[in-house]
Amino acid sequence: MTAQALAGLLADETRLRVFSAIVLGAATPPEIASATGAKAKDVALALRKLTGGGLVVDDGGELRAATGRFKEVLRSAAGAERTVTDHGTGDERTESLLRTFVDGDRLLGIPSQLVRRRTVLAHLAHRSFRPGERYPERAVNDILRAWSEGSGTDHVAIRRYLIELDVLDRADGHYWLRPEAETAS
Protein backbone atom coordinates (compact mmCIF):
# COMPACT_ATOMS: atom_id res chain seq x y z
CA MET A 1 0.00 0.00 0.00
CA THR A 2 1.25 3.46 -0.82
CA ALA A 3 0.96 6.56 1.35
CA GLN A 4 -1.48 7.96 -1.21
CA ALA A 5 -3.67 4.86 -1.01
CA LEU A 6 -3.65 5.03 2.78
CA ALA A 7 -4.59 8.69 2.72
CA GLY A 8 -7.30 7.91 0.16
CA LEU A 9 -8.81 5.26 2.42
CA LEU A 10 -9.07 7.68 5.30
CA ALA A 11 -10.02 10.74 3.23
CA ASP A 12 -13.70 9.77 3.31
CA GLU A 13 -15.29 11.13 6.50
CA THR A 14 -17.40 8.04 7.17
CA ARG A 15 -14.46 5.67 6.73
CA LEU A 16 -12.34 7.86 9.00
CA ARG A 17 -15.04 7.86 11.71
CA VAL A 18 -15.50 4.08 11.37
CA PHE A 19 -11.76 3.49 11.62
CA SER A 20 -11.53 5.84 14.61
CA ALA A 21 -14.35 4.00 16.38
CA ILE A 22 -12.51 0.70 15.89
CA VAL A 23 -9.27 2.20 17.20
CA LEU A 24 -11.19 3.41 20.25
CA GLY A 25 -12.59 -0.06 20.94
CA ALA A 26 -15.76 -0.63 18.91
CA ALA A 27 -15.52 -4.23 17.74
CA THR A 28 -18.78 -4.95 15.91
CA PRO A 29 -20.77 -3.14 13.23
CA PRO A 30 -23.59 -2.21 15.66
CA GLU A 31 -21.04 -0.77 18.14
CA ILE A 32 -19.40 1.19 15.32
CA ALA A 33 -22.77 2.53 14.10
CA SER A 34 -23.62 3.59 17.65
CA ALA A 35 -20.24 5.26 18.18
CA THR A 36 -20.22 7.09 14.85
CA GLY A 37 -23.89 7.84 14.35
CA ALA A 38 -23.58 6.39 10.84
CA LYS A 39 -26.21 4.23 9.14
CA ALA A 40 -25.62 0.46 9.16
CA LYS A 41 -25.23 0.34 5.37
CA ASP A 42 -22.65 3.16 5.45
CA VAL A 43 -20.73 1.32 8.19
CA ALA A 44 -20.82 -1.89 6.14
CA LEU A 45 -19.53 -0.09 3.03
CA ALA A 46 -16.75 1.64 5.01
CA LEU A 47 -15.76 -1.66 6.64
CA ARG A 48 -15.58 -3.38 3.26
CA LYS A 49 -13.19 -0.67 1.96
CA LEU A 50 -11.11 -0.53 5.17
CA THR A 51 -10.82 -4.32 5.32
CA GLY A 52 -9.93 -4.50 1.64
CA GLY A 53 -7.25 -1.86 2.22
CA GLY A 54 -5.80 -3.79 5.13
CA LEU A 55 -6.57 -1.21 7.80
CA VAL A 56 -9.23 -3.32 9.53
CA VAL A 57 -8.99 -7.02 10.35
CA ASP A 58 -11.94 -9.28 11.18
CA ASP A 59 -10.86 -11.62 13.98
CA GLY A 60 -13.73 -14.10 14.15
CA GLY A 61 -16.48 -11.51 14.22
CA GLU A 62 -14.53 -8.90 16.20
CA LEU A 63 -13.02 -6.04 14.27
CA ARG A 64 -9.67 -4.52 15.11
CA ALA A 65 -7.55 -1.81 13.57
CA ALA A 66 -4.34 -2.89 11.84
CA THR A 67 -2.40 0.15 13.03
CA GLY A 68 0.91 -1.48 12.10
CA ARG A 69 0.05 -0.68 8.47
CA PHE A 70 0.81 2.98 9.18
CA LYS A 71 4.38 2.13 10.19
CA GLU A 72 4.82 -0.08 7.12
CA VAL A 73 3.59 2.63 4.77
CA LEU A 74 5.73 5.31 6.40
CA ARG A 75 8.85 3.14 6.31
CA SER A 76 8.19 2.28 2.70
CA ALA A 77 7.65 5.93 1.76
CA ALA A 78 10.77 7.03 3.68
CA GLY A 79 12.86 4.33 1.99
CA ALA A 80 11.62 5.33 -1.44
CA GLU A 81 12.47 9.00 -0.89
CA ARG A 82 15.82 8.55 0.84
CA THR A 83 18.87 8.24 -1.33
CA VAL A 84 22.11 6.89 0.03
CA THR A 85 24.88 9.45 -0.15
CA ASP A 86 28.40 8.29 -0.88
CA HIS A 87 30.85 10.57 0.91
CA GLY A 88 33.77 8.96 -0.88
CA THR A 89 35.61 7.55 2.13
CA GLY A 90 35.63 3.96 0.90
CA ASP A 91 34.90 2.73 4.44
CA GLU A 92 31.36 1.52 5.17
CA ARG A 93 31.55 2.35 8.90
CA THR A 94 32.67 5.89 8.16
CA GLU A 95 30.01 6.23 5.45
CA SER A 96 27.34 5.10 7.91
CA LEU A 97 28.55 7.62 10.49
CA LEU A 98 28.57 10.44 7.95
CA ARG A 99 25.08 9.54 6.68
CA THR A 100 23.87 9.89 10.26
CA PHE A 101 25.37 13.32 10.85
CA VAL A 102 25.82 14.91 7.40
CA ASP A 103 23.28 15.53 4.66
CA GLY A 104 24.95 17.00 1.59
CA ASP A 105 26.47 20.27 2.77
CA ARG A 106 24.48 20.33 6.00
CA LEU A 107 25.53 19.15 9.41
CA LEU A 108 22.63 17.35 11.08
CA GLY A 109 24.32 17.15 14.47
CA ILE A 110 27.61 16.47 16.19
CA PRO A 111 28.43 13.08 17.69
CA SER A 112 29.12 13.08 21.41
CA GLN A 113 31.81 10.39 21.14
CA LEU A 114 35.15 12.10 20.54
CA VAL A 115 36.46 9.79 17.79
CA ARG A 116 33.21 10.05 15.85
CA ARG A 117 33.09 13.82 16.36
CA ARG A 118 36.58 14.14 14.88
CA THR A 119 35.65 11.98 11.89
CA VAL A 120 32.54 14.04 11.10
CA LEU A 121 34.23 17.40 11.60
CA ALA A 122 37.34 16.38 9.65
CA HIS A 123 35.02 15.44 6.78
CA LEU A 124 33.37 18.86 7.03
CA ALA A 125 36.75 20.60 7.06
CA HIS A 126 38.06 18.67 4.06
CA ARG A 127 34.95 19.55 2.10
CA SER A 128 35.29 23.23 3.05
CA PHE A 129 38.96 24.19 3.24
CA ARG A 130 41.80 23.73 0.77
CA PRO A 131 45.14 22.42 2.06
CA GLY A 132 47.78 25.12 2.41
CA GLU A 133 45.31 27.99 2.19
CA ARG A 134 44.74 30.40 5.09
CA TYR A 135 41.26 31.71 5.84
CA PRO A 136 40.32 34.81 7.84
CA GLU A 137 38.04 34.15 10.81
CA ARG A 138 35.10 35.82 9.07
CA ALA A 139 35.35 33.41 6.10
CA VAL A 140 35.62 30.42 8.46
CA ASN A 141 32.54 31.63 10.33
CA ASP A 142 30.58 32.00 7.08
CA ILE A 143 31.55 28.49 5.93
CA LEU A 144 30.70 26.89 9.27
CA ARG A 145 27.48 28.88 9.63
CA ALA A 146 26.30 27.46 6.30
CA TRP A 147 27.14 23.92 7.45
CA SER A 148 25.42 24.32 10.83
CA GLU A 149 22.25 26.04 9.65
CA GLY A 150 19.31 24.12 11.07
CA SER A 151 21.47 21.66 13.03
CA GLY A 152 21.03 23.24 16.43
CA THR A 153 24.82 23.53 16.69
CA ASP A 154 26.51 26.90 16.83
CA HIS A 155 29.17 27.59 14.19
CA VAL A 156 31.46 28.96 16.91
CA ALA A 157 31.27 25.62 18.74
CA ILE A 158 32.16 23.82 15.52
CA ARG A 159 35.13 26.12 14.98
CA ARG A 160 36.29 25.49 18.54
CA TYR A 161 35.94 21.70 18.08
CA LEU A 162 37.95 21.86 14.85
CA ILE A 163 40.79 23.54 16.75
CA GLU A 164 40.56 21.26 19.81
CA LEU A 165 40.51 18.13 17.64
CA ASP A 166 43.60 19.29 15.72
CA VAL A 167 41.80 19.51 12.40
CA LEU A 168 42.34 23.25 11.96
CA ASP A 169 45.09 25.46 13.29
CA ARG A 170 44.96 29.20 13.88
CA ALA A 171 47.19 32.21 14.37
CA ASP A 172 46.73 35.95 13.97
CA GLY A 173 43.03 35.65 13.13
CA HIS A 174 43.58 33.12 10.31
CA TYR A 175 42.75 29.41 10.11
CA TRP A 176 44.10 26.56 7.97
CA LEU A 177 43.95 22.78 7.74
CA ARG A 178 46.66 21.20 9.87
CA PRO A 179 49.16 19.23 7.74
CA GLU A 180 48.39 16.04 9.72
CA ALA A 181 44.69 16.54 9.06
CA GLU A 182 45.27 17.06 5.34
CA THR A 183 46.07 13.39 4.86
CA ALA A 184 43.77 12.00 7.58
CA SER A 185 40.66 11.75 5.43
Asked whether residue 67 falls in the same domain as residue 33, the answer is yes
Q: What is the DSSP letter of 181?
A: H
Domain boundary among 34, 50, 73: 73
Give the integer Cα–Cα distance in Å for 60 and 6.
24
Asked whether residue 126 falls in the same domain as residue 151, the answer is yes
Q: What are phi and psi of 101, to 5 degrees?
A: -115, -5
Asked whether residue 92 falls in the same domain as residue 172, the answer is yes
Q: Which of 142, 169, 135, 172 is nearest to 156 (CA)?
A: 142
Query: What is the mean predicted confidence (pLDDT) over 80-107?
Result: 79
| pLDDT tens-digit readout, 103-121 | 888 888 889 899 999 999 9
Give the integer Cα–Cα distance in Å for 158 and 126.
14
What's the pTM?
0.54
Asked whether residue 46 falls in the same domain as residue 69, the answer is yes
Domain residues for the domain of 47 are: 3-73
Asked whether residue 59 falls in the same domain as residue 114, the answer is no
The pLDDT value recorded for residue 68 is 81
> Which pairs from 34-43 meet CB under 8 Å and 24+ separation?
38/14, 42/14, 43/14, 43/18
Asked whether residue 176 falls in the same domain as residue 93, the answer is yes
Q: Give the chain's domain count.
A: 2
Banded model confidence at residue 84, pLDDT cuts 50, 70, 90: low
4 close to 11: Cβ distance less than 8 angstroms:
no
DSSP per residue over 62-94, as a string?
EEEE-THHHHHHHHHHHHHH------S-S-HHH
**CATH code of the domain in which 57 resides:** 1.10.10.10
Query: What is the mean predicted confidence (pLDDT) over 4-20?
Result: 90
Asked whether residue 92 falls in the same domain as residue 157, the answer is yes
CA dihedral over 37, 39, 45, 48, signed as positive or negative:
positive
Banded model confidence at residue 173, pLDDT cuts 50, 70, 90: very high
Inside any domain, residue 15: yes
Asked whether residue 93 falls in the same domain as residue 32, the answer is no
Inside any domain, residue 79: no
Banded model confidence at residue 15, pLDDT cuts 50, 70, 90: very high
Inside any domain, residue 78: no
